[in-house]
Structure 1
Amino acid sequence: MPARHSALAVLVAVLWGLNFLAIHASLTHFPPLFLVALRFALIAIPTLVLVPRPRVPVRWLLGYGLGFGTLQFLFLYLGMHAGFPTGLASLVLQASAPFTVVLGAVLLRERLRARAMAGVVVATAGLVVVGLGYGAAAPLGPFLLVLLGALGWALGNLASRQARAERPLHLVLWMSVVPPLPMLALSLAIEGPSTIGDALATSLTAAAVPAWLGLAYTVLLGTLVGSGIWVWLMARHPASAVAPFSMLVPVVGIATAWAALGERPGTLELAGGALVIGGVLWASRPARARIVPADPAPAAEPPPAPEPAPALRR
């Protein structure tokens, strides 16, 4: 990729890494289920008015919205609200990559290469190490919730792949139409109208400003700008050239959470994170093309020997 495009890919990784701090800020004021509904409603309303619906089968649009939009953020927000560290959340969500590989083989009968399988095994071992490191000092439940969020992302990946949208950004925007209603229903049933009402009643106070700023960042920079640039890059370069930049997301997420929130990961968590990132990078590497030697060209026939010069007559 040109240096300018590589810089854009790094910018997206930074935007997505900072997105976890923005989510943390929003969760300090809004209940998690209602926050998911509010986040996607803010994107869905202008999308319904301004953006044409992508020409894809409805089942894949719904599958993408339920997997990527609903399940991923339902469990991610619940896990972070339950106390899972912000920086580690950006790392554990990378489990979506090995989940996608395995689910693609099981559900779509995609061929599982030996390299991809080895990467999945290494990344899974890294997640186990992260879980052991985190679970030694805290309940394991929040870790499992974020891991379920990664599984939802993987299911969304399969649906978006099957959709084969001509305009991927339109698919990303219309995906946001799916989560608001089911998430609002869950919020009303689980969190209750009084909890939602209290959050909204105090949302115009000075204490709620960080939550609104975090929500604005998530919608505008994390989703619209970040996803827009990413889709633009994926349309112009091979996935193998663009996708590895996403491995910078947990690096940015952990570093910024360490600096801003004082979340210092332990040795086991860092070691497991290195295994996760290494396994995902190894699994995403394209297979080497086999070079078949060309048949040697037939040897050129030697030129005919010159005829002897005629003898001179005396």
Structure 2
Amino acid sequence: MSVSPRTPLLAAGAATVTVVLWASAFVSIRSAGAAYSPGALALGRLLSGALVLGVFLLVRREGLPPRSAWRGIAISGVLWFGFYMVALNWGEQQVDAGTAALVVNIGPILIALLGARLLGDPLPPRLLAGMAVSFAGAVTVGLSMSGEGGSSVLGVALCLLAAMAYAGGVVAQKPALGRASVLQVTTFGCLVGAVCCLPFSWQLVTEAAGAPLSATLNMVYLGVFPTALAFTTWAYALSRTTASRMGATTYAVPALVVLMSWLALGEVPGPLTMAGGALCLAGVAVSRSRPRSAAPTSEPVSRTEREATTSA
């Protein structure tokens, strides 16, 4: 199978779009979360995203994914699109920013461990070192931006469950991308997540009637951009690299959140926050780098990718 020289650049660009949009989601969630409960916000976001993705799927006439891809799509839809969004929305209402950063950002570490165990992803020293540096930076950012809010046992448990669901969803999605298109995997994963959140329908209808327009627009933004677009670019990049490397890439999100909060909300970051953001970016750079002797156009091949190549 020949690989275009542009593929690594396109994958890097897709990953960049993903982390920028996911970082912007934190700013929008702060606005929409004041008017919508966790379940209603997740459902409204997923319905908006599914509508946009469904239109593109119909225009491209891609149809249903093959049966062999449905297991991964269903698992990622339930865990990542559904459970993760509700648990994270709820958990961040219960704990301070420092605790949320500490707990939720174990997700990429869990992805690396699960990817190595279930997908045969390699764990090179540079990846592990970069993730350690980025995790330290994420915790530093969270602690430095914490107010005087407290942390509840429920909130910590919800953030931990969200991190576990995120990791499980990513690892389940990876094999599905070898059997179905990026758009199919993303669209039907989003639809599965929306179906899981249907019990919150009455809350969404009730709260939408009294919510300010800005909160509703932010909810729609979350569905169109950080969900429909960002999850699609994520899947594109994930299909061209390992789950471990993609998980490490998301450690750039805390640094971007600091910058966006500064620009959009006027929240001037302190020296500790700036240092934590720099650590996040430095860790991502280390985790994505390769030894000088490595071929520049090839990614480490996981067991899933090897099996797909053999059966092709």
The reply to whether residue 159 of structure 1 matches residue 169 of structure 2 is no
Q: Is the 8 A contact 2:252 2:284 kept in 1?
A: no
2-side partners of 1:261 and 1:290: how far apart? 43
| Aligned match of 1:311 | none
2-side partners of 1:290 and 1:13: how far apart? 26
| Aligned match of 2:223 | 219
Return the match for 1:199 from 203, 207, 212. Answer: 207
| Aligned match of 1:96 | 107
| Aligned match of 1:258 | 262
Displacement of 1:254 after TM fit?
1.7
Return the match for 2:193 from 179, 184, 203. Answer: 179
Q: Deviations over 1:125-154 (max 9, x none)?
A: 444545554568432455774564343222
Normalized against structure 2, the TM-score is what? 0.69
The reply to whether residue 78 of structure 1 matches residue 85 of structure 2 is no
Q: Is the 8 A contact 1:37 1:184 kept in 2?
A: yes
Q: Which has the larger radius of gyration?
A: 1
2-side partners of 1:21 and 1:63: how far apart? 28
AA partner of residue 35 (structure 2): H
AA partner of residue 176 (structure 1): C
Note closer, same or farther for the CA distance 1:128–1:209 as it changes in structure 2 (3 Å cut): closer
Secondary structure of residue in 1 paired with 2:197: helix
2-side partners of 1:101 and 1:74: how far apart? 23
Which stretches in structure 1 are left out of the alignment for 5+ residues? Answer: 292-314
| Aligned match of 1:282 | 286
Identity between Structure 1 and Structure 2 (%): 26
Which stretches in structure 2 are left out of the alignment for 5+ residues? Answer: 1-5, 296-312
Displacement of 1:13 after TM fit?
4.4
Q: Is the 8 A contact 2:76 2:189 kept in 1?
A: yes
Q: Is the 8 A contact 2:140 2:276 kept in 1?
A: yes
Note closer, same or farther for the CA distance 1:290–1:17 as it changes in structure 2 (3 Å cut): closer
AA partner of residue 271 (structure 1): A
**CA-atom RMSD, angstroms?**
4.1
Q: Is the 8 A contact 1:88 1:254 kept in 2?
A: no
| Aligned match of 1:17 | 23
Note closer, same or farther for the CA distance 1:75–1:284 as it changes in structure 2 (3 Å cut): farther
| Aligned match of 1:305 | none
Q: Deviations over 1:19-75 (max 9, x none)?
A: 222222221211111211222133446739946222243321111112321233123
AA partner of residue 73 (structure 1): M
Note closer, same or farther for the CA distance 1:289–1:224 as it changes in structure 2 (3 Å cut): same
Q: Is the 8 A contact 1:92 1:127 kept in 2?
A: no
Structure 1 segment 1-314 matched on structure 2, within 5 A: 13-44=19-50, 47=54, 50=58, 52-55=63-66, 56-82=68-94, 84=96, 95-130=106-141, 132-133=143-144, 137-141=148-152, 145-146=158-159, 148-163=161-176, 164-185=178-199, 187=200, 196=204, 198-203=206-211, 208-229=212-233, 249-289=253-293
Q: Is the 8 A contact 2:186 2:235 kept in 1?
A: no
Q: Is the 8 A contact 2:91 2:158 kept in 1?
A: yes
Note closer, same or farther for the CA distance 1:288–1:59 as it changes in structure 2 (3 Å cut): farther
| Aligned match of 1:308 | none
AA partner of residue 161 (structure 1): K
Q: How many residues align?
A: 277
Normalized against structure 1, the TM-score is what? 0.68
Displacement of 1:282 after TM fit?
2.1
2-side partners of 1:120 and 1:201: how far apart? 43
1-side partners of 2:48 and 2:276: how far apart? 36
Note closer, same or farther for the CA distance 1:276–1:139 as it changes in structure 2 (3 Å cut): farther
Q: Is the 8 A contact 1:169 1:228 kept in 2?
A: yes
